[in-house]
């Protein structure tokens, strides 16, 4: 094992490979789904914990697949300005990373058994689709991220599937409010991808990857970032107006100034390595928004709406 920039511990390359800073994308929607289930009086801790564990594992699996496949496709090169990728830097071999993928999938499937017992065949379908999507995002004959479908993938699986799936295993159905919450979590997770796509425009273009900044220009991606922010902040307002959430749901708006600041910052033409810390800020904003929204839903549930 090479020492390189990650140290000489065998576990260090794996910590780099799983990309801990991206994990709020898995944590946030499950937290929001749990809060929504609590607000309607049907929260089950063990079901929620299993959903969270599986979501984190699937995020890790997608990160590992992305690491090894992007290197094999020639997308990750020394010219890339993003954080360290373990396959590209020789910290782990292709075989080691793929073995990690299947181990993670195995753990997710094992934990999924409990949720299948609770929710039945819909959980089987959702779990299989999520695993397939984690692979198909960058691997396979039609990699989604290479054909302009990455944003849709994120919205569906980090928004609707994560929130609605979490609610379903506890409630047994998917209330309308869950779809709204899925929109909010998914939209802010899309913004993580937007920053990633803007940062990697040059290397992605060379590799033949298609996405909004490459096809329509950076300006379009910046506006996408703003539209996703707007969608997320409209959600709690709509739920309150429709009577599907109490005024406590508006706690999420405490993070609005930070969101506006982020949009202004990404429009200031920061580029290259400077976007790496901005990517972390965008992930943190997702987490803070969902924490505030979840707290509001829980308080509203305790207070009886």
CATH number of the domain bearing residue 78: 1.10.600
Residue 120 lies in a domain: yes
For position 170, what pLDDT does the model report? 94
For position 3, what pLDDT does the model report? 39
Residue 3 lies in a domain: no
Residue 158 lies in a domain: yes
Domain that holds residue 289: 21-302
Residue 14 lies in a domain: no
Specify the number of domains making up the chain.
Answer: 1
Residue 245 lies in a domain: yes
Q: For the chain, what percent of residues have pLDDT higher than 70?
A: 93
Residue 11 lies in a domain: no
| Lowest-pLDDT range of 13-27, 95-109, 213-227 | 13-27
Residue 248 lies in a domain: yes
Q: Please write the tens of the pLDDT for every residue from 160-199.
A: 999 999 999 999 999 999 999 999 999 999 999 999 999 8
Is the pLDDT reported for residue 2 higher than 50? Answer: no
Q: For the chain, what percent of residues have pLDDT higher than 90?
A: 61
| ∠ CA 287-62-156, rounded to 5° | 60
Residue 122 lies in a domain: yes
How many other CB atoms are there within 10 angstroms of residue 285's CB atom? 21
Is the pLDDT reported for residue 69 higher than 60? Answer: yes
- The contacts of residue 273 (CB under 8 Å, 6+ apart) are 81
| Lowest-pLDDT range of 15-19, 38-42, 53-57 | 15-19
**Pick the residue with more confidence: 6 or 121?**
121
Instruction: Tell me which range, 2-16, 21-35, 202-216, 224-238, is most confidently predicted by mean pLDDT.
Output: 224-238
For position 82, what pLDDT does the model report? 62
């Amino acid at each position: 094992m090479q020492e390189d920039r990650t140290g000489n511990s065998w576990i260090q390359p794996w910590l780099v490979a799983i990309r801990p800073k991206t994990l709020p994308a898995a944590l946030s929607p499950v937290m929001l789904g749990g809060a929504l289930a609590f607000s309607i009086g049907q929260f089950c801790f063990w079901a929620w914990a299993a959903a969270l564990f599986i979501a984190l594992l699937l995020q890790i699996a997608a990160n590992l697949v992305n690491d090894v496949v992007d290197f094999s496709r020639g997308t990750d090169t020394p010219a890339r300005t993003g954080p360290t990728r373990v396959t590209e830097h020789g910290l782990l071999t292709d075989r080691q990373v793929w073995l990690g993928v299947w181990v993670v999938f195995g753990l997710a499937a094992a934990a999924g058994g409990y949720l299948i017992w609770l929710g039945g065949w819909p959980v089987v379908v959702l779990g299989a689709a999520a695993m397939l999507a984690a692979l198909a995002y960058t691997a396979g004959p039609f990699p989604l991220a290479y054909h302009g479908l990455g944003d849709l993938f994120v919205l569906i699986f980090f928004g609707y599937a994560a929130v609605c799936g979490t609610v379903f295993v506890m409630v047994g159905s998917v209330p309308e409010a869950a779809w709204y919450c899925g929109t909010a979590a998914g939209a802010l997770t899309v913004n993580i991808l937007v920053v990633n796509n803007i940062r990697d425009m040059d290397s992605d273009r060379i590799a033949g990857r298609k996405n909004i900044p490459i096809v329509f220009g950076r300006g379009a991606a910046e506006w996408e970032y703003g539209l996703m922010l707007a969608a997320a902040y409209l959600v709690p307002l709509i739920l309150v107006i429709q009577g599907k959430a109490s005024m406590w749901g508006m706690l999420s708006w405490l993070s609005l100034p930070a969101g506006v600041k982020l949009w202004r910052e990404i429009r200031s033409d920061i580029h290259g390595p400077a976007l790496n810390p901005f990517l972390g800020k965008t992930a943190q904003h997702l987490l803070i928004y969902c924490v505030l929204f979840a707290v509001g839903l829980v308080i509203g549930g305790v207070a009886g709406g």
